[in-house]
Structure formats: C-alpha cells, structure tokens
Chain A
C-alpha cells in the first residue's frame, strides 16, 4: 500500500516536472509567431546558459555521487540535522558562500541531503548565502563602494540564519495545522 502511494506520488511529481517543460516549449512556439527574431535570440541565450553551467552540473553530479558513497544519514543528521546546533548553521553559511553556479543546479543535491536528514532551515540558509558571491565582490565595490558591500554582506549572513530559523518555525506551524485538520 505504502509502495503504491509512493509510486503514485513519484509519477505525479514527474508529470508536474514534464508539464512545466511542455508549458515553456508551448510558450516558445507561441512567441515564435509573435517575434521570430527575439525568440530565436532566446534559444541562443538558453544554449549559452547551458554551456556556462555545464561544468557546475557535472560538479553537482560528482558531489552527489561522492556524498551518496560517503555520507550516511547518521553523519548528515549529526552535522546538518535537528541536533546539529550552531555547527550546522555555520556549515550551511560557509557551504552557501562557497557554492558556485545557478541556484537550481543545487536543488537535487539539497533534496538528497534532506532525505539523508538535513534540516529545511539549513537548506534555506545555504540558499540565502549563495547571494554572497566572493568572485563578484570587486564588481560590487566598483558600483556601490566598500562600506556598502561590507555592511550588506554581514547583514546577509545574519539574515540567512534568521530566515532559516523562521522558515523552520513556519513549516512546523503549517504541519501542525495540517495534522489537526486531518
């Protein structure tokens, strides 16, 4: 019964993922008739993005493979789970700052880590800290000045933890409401 439910959920998720892609393709076809040149440019821009993110995609698959091999649910919950404490938040902040590439490329890895026991709050903190882009700091300083960049970066790190904590509280309350509704 449980396996049936899981299979039904999986096929529903896959259906949702493919219907999103089909929707975007239909949008392209419609826009192709509206403005052929711009839509053609959009295809070229998409190909450029794929070429740019390809190394990161490969890196993510490698990290996922390595983490599947080495990380046991027990290890993940020790460092990033409910009992991880301050250490967990610090790890999430640093990993978020150090991670490269587009945000969506990291979703599968984060899902895997969550399945191994990573807290949702730490996932949110990780994702927020991806906003702190060390390689782009010189450009930011050029446009906005050193003081602005330093203050903003420090606040971003603090807010990332606040957001993670708040998100966990909200998800807890939503889950409790769902249970009481059942």
Chain B
C-alpha cells in the first residue's frame, strides 16, 4: 500500500516535470519570433513620432476612416499610446470616426505581429483574422457613432 502511494507520488512528480518541460520547450520554439516582434516594436517606438501620425490625416471622413484603420493596423504597442494619440487626433480636428477606427485597429489588427501569428497559428488563420479585424474596425466605428447619435 505504502509502495503504491510512493509510486503514485513519483509518477505525479514526473508528470509535473513533463508538463512544464513541454511548456518551456513549446515556448522556446516561438521565442525567436517573439524577440523579432519586440525588436520591431522598438524600431516603431523610436522612428515614428506622434506628429508623423497626425500629419497623415486629410480631413475627408471616408478617406480618414480607412487611413485610421490602416495606421492602427500597422502601428503597434500599448493601447494607452493609441488612446493618447487618438485624443491628440481629436484635438487636431480629425473625424471621431477615423479616430475610433484607429484605436480599434490598433488593438485588434497586428501587421507587426502577423509573422508570429502565422508561424504559430497558421497562415490562413492569421491572414483571415487580421483581414476580418481590419474590416470590422471600420464597421465598429460606424456602428458606435450611429448608436451615439441616437442615444445622445
């Protein structure tokens, strides 16, 4: 009985070690892509300023909404940054529709992360998901403002 319990404990310990070594191995296999993404994000942070982003918008609502989604998809980083840039864009007179599309695309679409997503979850999944999120960022902006117009 005692030996039975001991062997159970031993196999449990073995299972824990196997589970964690499997997790570390699986994580390490994705590490080169994660490091690559982090390095790209570093480049974005230092090479692209808030002023550069603001200067892209034209004043045409339709065009700016597409531009907002496109910029939000290309740029990456902490969502807080997108809110700060979004706030600045509103102050500069950029359409709220474009700003909404921009902040939604920032968090839902990831061109920079696309290679990592494709490498880990598959090309078809990554491309389809990002394309859908890009389209939905504009649809979501329109839906949000249509609703706000009705309720406010």
Measured CB to CB, the residues of A under 8 A from B are: 13-14, 16-18, 20-21, 23-25, 27-28, 31, 35, 38-39, 41-47, 49-50, 53, 57, 60-62, 64-66, 68-69, 103-105, 107-108, 110-112, 114, 120, 123-124, 127-128, 130-131, 133, 136, 139-140, 143-144, 147-148, 151-152, 155-156, 159, 162-163, 166-167, 170-171, 174
Contacts and interface: CB of A to CB of B under 8 A. Distances in A.
B2 interface: no
Given A136-B80, A151-B147, A107 B30 contact: yes
Contacts of A27: 43
27 contacts: A17-B119, A20-B33, A20-B115, A20-B116, A25-B39, A27-B43, A41-B46, A43-B42, A65-B20, A68-B20, A103-B113, A104-B117, A107-B120, A107-B121, A108-B27, A108-B29, A112-B23, A128-B108, A131-B104, A131-B107, A133-B79, A133-B107, A143-B87, A148-B100, A163-B133, A166-B132, A171-B125
A64 B27 contact: yes
A38 to B, nearest CB: 5
B1 interface: no
A81 to B, nearest CB: 16
A171 B84 CA distance: 36
Given A60-B27, A166-B132, A110 B22 contact: no
B78 to A, nearest CB: 9
Interface in B3-36: 15-16, 18-20, 22-24, 26-27, 29-30, 32-36
Given A69-B19, A136-B80, A46 B136 contact: no
A8 to B, nearest CB: 16
Contacts, number: 188
Contact of B117 (A61, A107, A143): A107
Contact of B34 (A23, A68, A104, A148): A104
Contacts of B39: 21, 24-25, 28, 42, 46
Contacts of B30: 17, 107-108, 111
A49 B35 CA distance: 10
Nearest to A23: B36
Contacts of A166: 132
B32 A112 contact: no
A13 to B, nearest CB: 6
Contact of A147 (B18, B29, B40, B152): B152
B148 interface: yes
B55 interface: no
B129 A46 contact: no
Most chain-A Cβ atoms within 10 A of its Cβ — which of B37, B80, B148? B37
B40 A24 contact: yes
B73 to A, nearest CB: 13
